[in-house]
Amino acid sequence: MTRAPAVPSNAKRPGVVPFLGEEMPGEVVPILDFGSQYVQLIARRVREAGVFSVLVAPDTPVERLAAMKPAGLILSGGPASVYEAEAPRCDPKLFELGVPVLGICYGMQIGCQLLGGQVSRAAREYGRAALAVRDDRDLFAGLPSHMTVWMSHGDQVDRLTEDFEVLATTPTCPYAAVRHRRVPFYGIQFHPEVTHTPHGLEVLSNFLFHVCRCRGEWRLTDFLERQVASVRRTVGSGRVICGLSGGVDSSVAAALLAKAIGKQLTCIFVDNGLLRKNERSLVERTFREHFETDLRVVDASEEFLADLAGVEDPQEKRRRIGHRFIEVFRRASVQVAEGGGVRFLAQGTLYPDVIESGHGHWGTAASI
């Protein structure tokens, strides 16, 4: 569901209920997503440590970052090479925010480059490496002087200015971890977020609590109450149309909305003829009887199956299903909107889809 449904010309255009909106819950560490396959794991590790994290586009303006009042910033890894013309870049002014910045892999390379270092192609390294710690303060406080870390890179920093200090090395990477003397920037070439780096969580925790001075008071259990209050403020007296597929993502979103605004919510469930056994009846029973939701079920199975008849190519099937769904959902939405008061379209989806759809930056995300 990629666009708001059509509504009568005398109605207000739908908005979007911000389940992950601009209001930040206390201390926050934004993560600039340069396209790493591990980026959401970084966010998860930070949250598990008790600090809220949110993924943002790599070119997010420093003014927007400042508005979040971050306790620190993390620059993620990524598949690009920082010396390429079209490689994703961040706002160099982020170092002027005065908050600690941790660069991981590509994030380290882009940070070092912006601060006067040089990055070059190196022998591809993928796997475990032996890290020797030279400085046991800050990132490596309380950790062994030798430890195993996980490497995944084809470039690495090969020259630094005298403003940098080397914190750790490996046999093939002389700048495996660094710290800038004047700017609160830390860079690590390895990945602390993966289980293959046994002491990786301690490295992240040291950054959050020793360097950023976070309190670690955020809890996932606070999410529901915060989002319910946010939805109520946003929706006011308006009505919301929610696309309900029966999957976990849309069902959780619909349940949260039902808790927040009750009868102001209308869910639309499209039966495309390709559902799991008893899925339609389960959705109807759950949302009509348990949540007491205004649920509109549209049986469009014949239309969908006719579109797919004789088609073998998976991508063509996906395209046809998508186009048919938009048309069916639009028709149903118009009928709901005729009652008046509809101002918002709600969509439940995976966080990765939110990031990939919103950033449009380097890698496969731009093609989704």
Contacts of 275 (CB under 8 A, 6+ apart): 246
48 is catalytic: no
pLDDT tens for 214-244 read: 999 888 777 788 889 989 999 999 999 999 9
Contacts of 49 (CB under 8 A, 6+ apart): 201, 204, 205, 208, 209, 216
Pairing state between β 73-75 and 101-104 = parallel
105 is catalytic: yes
Q: What totals of helices (H) and strands (E) does the chain contain, helices first?
A: 10, 14
DSSP assignment of 170-206, as one string? ETTEEEEEEEESSS-EEEESS-TTSTTSTTHHHHHHI
Catalytic residue among 27, 125, 193, 202: 193
| Alpha helices in 5-61, H assignment, sequence order | 39-48
The SS3 of residue 89 is: coil
pLDDT tens for 161-195 read: 999 999 999 999 999 999 999 999 999 999 999 99
pLDDT reading at 355 higher than 60: no
pLDDT tens for 259-314 read: 999 999 999 999 999 999 999 999 999 999 999 999 999 999 999 999 999 999 99
pTM: 0.70
Catalytic residue among 112, 153, 173, 191: 191
Which pLDDT belongs to residue 352? 58
28-32 sheet: strands from edge to edge? 52-56, 28-32, 73-75, 101-104, 185-188, 173-180, 164-170, 118-133, 146-159
> What is the C-alpha to C-alpha distance for residues 322 and 248, in angstroms, rounded to an integer?
19
193 is catalytic: yes
What's the whole-number average pLDDT of the chain? 87
pLDDT tens for 119-178 read: 999 888 899 999 999 999 899 999 999 999 999 998 999 999 999 999 999 999 999 999
pLDDT tens for 35-87 read: 888 898 999 999 999 999 999 999 999 999 999 999 999 999 999 999 998 99
